[in-house]
Structure 1
Amino acid sequence: MSVDTQPGTNRPGQPRPLSLAISPCPNDTFSFHALLHGQVTDAPAVTVTYADIDVLNGRAERRLDDLVKVSYAALPWLLADYQLLTSGGALGRGCGPLVLTAGRTDLRGARVAIPGTRTTAYLLFRLWAAGVDLAAIDVLPFEQIMPAVRAGRYDAGLVIHESRFTYPSYGLTAVADLGDWWEGRTSLPIPLGAILARRGLDGPALSAVVRDSVARAFADPSASHEYVLAHAQEMESDVVEAHIKLYVNEFSLDLGDEGFAAVEALLARAAAADLVPHLAQPLR
């Protein structure tokens, strides 16, 4: 995890900068580049922390940040303190988590590595694998999951992000695409990551600021290139580009009715299965 203070964000006489916590993944750095580099008109000053999604979910639980990227699966535990922004998140089609093995097709009695217990990936996995008797579930940083499965430490791994593009190089096989599974049952996009703002802040105004940042990224993709690569954890440029194209889309600009429907459907199904609490208040 790292913390950056952007130049000029804490000038005497100005309000305290807002704290923002996002992942170092290309979809987040691409989307927030303009905001973090002073290119969004009338945007508040911000400081930024980069962390793995499981760490970000934990930071939100501890109310450490004003703005924070979290898993949609974590919302039932967070909405008392945070409000959902309509921009900056990750939803889409063909972008779901994968269940990978080194050739095994039956997960009964399997040891499974996951990226976090309150990630959307794990929530989808629990819905998909309902009734399967697993031997163990362990949380690993997502970049360690594929090496651990390849080494035989785990029978299966639940992967996210750029692992969709790189898992064949580890000699692994996808036994399930949870995005395809979700879309086949709901016809809705898969809701992965959300942007939350601390309650008491102006949510609509912050949604507009984030939307402007995403729009500027779309308008000039080359502007964020060096910044994105600097945080991309040694990804190849073609993988970075594919990652951005998959996870940054029209839902990143605005959730819209379809995006909200997808989130509501996921959390309603999970609550009905006693996997998450029922929402104490509406999303919008």
Structure 2
Amino acid sequence: MKKSLLAAISPCPNDTYIFGAWVLGMVGDLSEMRTRFVWEDVQTLNEMAESGGADIIKVSAVQALKLDNYEMLSCGGAFGLGDGPKLVARPGLNGTPEKIGVPGTLTTAYALLGAAADFDFESVPMFFHEIPDAISNGLVDAGLLIHETALVYEEMGFEMILDLGQWWKVRSDDSPLPLGVIIMRKSLGRDLFIEAEGIIRKSITAAEEKYDQVRPMIKSLARELDDRVIDEHIRAYVNDCSYDMGDKGVSALSVLKKITGLTNE
């Protein structure tokens, strides 16, 4: 009987695009393993990693850099190439926002905001998809948008205060922005890591070649159902670094550690 392995992934289009073919059985599975997938919000995924709640997890890059019991895989991640989280508010905000809705305090977006903001603010953690309503209803002065919401903030009637993708681009000398990565429990062993990386790469290739077969699952899990937004999200965060982060991605992670204060080097 095959052993069960739990993979916890976000339901956002870039992740469902990357893992879709694997989930749908189009590229097989790990040898002697039966992989079960669950879909969770980014903050929940970060918390699962802290407690060892799954074998393979998509986590925020800053969270992955803090963990000892997991190994970071070289593929499957989300790297922004000029795109990234956005701090937005309703039109006419006077001064700087005092209360900001954030998609969890373990996220890369939150760490970047802390590094970039030159003003004090109170963080109000919530699920990322709840932030736009919190801004509109006046529960917070501003919100830190990620995933699909960051792509449609103008359509929601918000104004941008700070584009963290562009801020990072300047501060990092045009390095890709590591937002999320895939981690795997170290105790599973190096052979399984290599096999998992191979399946993820096959899954990405299958999504490229047979997108029409993967698209229904992507759309069923997405928060923004407009095809244009889904496709824009995938283009923004699925790129060469998703297939193999390589030296460029490793270097970007080192820059992230320095910029967000995870190292004093």
1:203 aligned partner: 193
Instruction: Identify the range of structure 1 (155-164 vs 42-51) with the bigger mean alpha-carbon deviation.
Output: 42-51
CA distance in 1, matches of 2:218, 2:242: 17
How far is the alpha carbon of 1:89 from its aligned partner? 0.6
Q: What RMSD in Å do the two structures reach over aligned CA positions?
A: 1.7
| 1:65-87 alpha-carbon deviations (Å, 9 max, x no partner) | 11000000112331x11000011
1:214/1:253 contact within 8 Å kept: yes
How far is the alpha carbon of 1:42 from its aligned partner? 5.4
Secondary structure in structure 2 of the residue aligned to 1:191 = strand
CA distance in 2, matches of 1:64, 1:277: 27
**Equivalent of residue 115 in structure 1, options 99, 103, 127:** 103
Which amino acid in structure 2 is aligned with residue 232 of structure 1?
Answer: A
2:202 aligned partner: 212
How far is the alpha carbon of 1:41 from its aligned partner? 4.3
Instruction: Identify the range of structure 1 (59-68 vs 148-157) with the bigger mean alpha-carbon deviation.
Output: 148-157
2:36 aligned partner: 47
Which amino acid in structure 2 is aligned with residue 162 of structure 1?
Answer: E
| Cα 1:42/1:156, change in 2 over 3 Å | closer
Which amino acid in structure 2 is aligned with residue 138 of structure 1?
Answer: V
Residue 143 of structure 2 corresponds to residue 157 of structure 1: yes
CA distance in 1, matches of 2:143, 2:4: 39
CA distance in 2, matches of 1:38, 1:45: 11
How far is the alpha carbon of 1:164 from its aligned partner? 2.4
1:224 aligned partner: 214
2:57/2:182 contact within 8 Å kept: yes
| 1:98-133 alpha-carbon deviations (Å, 9 max, x no partner) | 00011326326x10110010100001100101x412
Which amino acid in structure 1 is aligned with residue 257 of structure 2?
Answer: L
**Equivalent of residue 168 in structure 2, options 153, 173, 182:** 182
Secondary structure in structure 2 of the residue aligned to 1:49 = strand
1:105/1:175 contact within 8 Å kept: no
2:204/2:243 contact within 8 Å kept: yes
How far is the alpha carbon of 1:166 from its aligned partner? 1.6
Which amino acid in structure 2 is aligned with residue 185 of structure 1?
Answer: R
CA distance in 1, matches of 2:179, 2:69: 20
For these two proteins, the number of residue pairs brought into alignment is: 258
TM-score, normalisation: structure 2: 0.92
Residue 23 of structure 2 corresponds to residue 33 of structure 1: no
Which amino acid in structure 2 is aligned with residue 55 of structure 1?
Answer: T
Which amino acid in structure 2 is aligned with residue 26 of structure 1?
Answer: P
TM-score, normalisation: structure 1: 0.86
Residue 59 of structure 2 corresponds to residue 70 of structure 1: yes
1:147/1:170 contact within 8 Å kept: no
Residue 222 of structure 2 corresponds to residue 253 of structure 1: no
Which stretches in structure 1 are left out of the alignment for 5+ residues? 1-12, 280-284
Secondary structure in structure 2 of the residue aligned to 1:170 = coil
1:172 aligned partner: 158
Residue 228 of structure 2 corresponds to residue 238 of structure 1: yes
Give identity over the alignment, percent: 34
CA distance in 1, matches of 2:29, 2:80: 29
CA distance in 2, matches of 1:195, 1:172: 32
2:87/2:145 contact within 8 Å kept: yes
1:76/1:277 contact within 8 Å kept: no
Residue 69 of structure 2 corresponds to residue 89 of structure 1: no
Which amino acid in structure 1 is aligned with residue 10 of structure 2?
Answer: S
Q: How does 1:93-108 map to 2 (within 5 A)?
A: 93-103=81-91, 104=93, 106-107=95-96
Which amino acid in structure 2 is aligned with residue 57 of structure 1?
Answer: N
1:98/1:178 contact within 8 Å kept: yes
2:224/2:230 contact within 8 Å kept: no
Secondary structure in structure 1 of the residue aligned to 2:187 = coil
CA distance in 2, matches of 1:105, 1:220: 49
1:126 aligned partner: 114
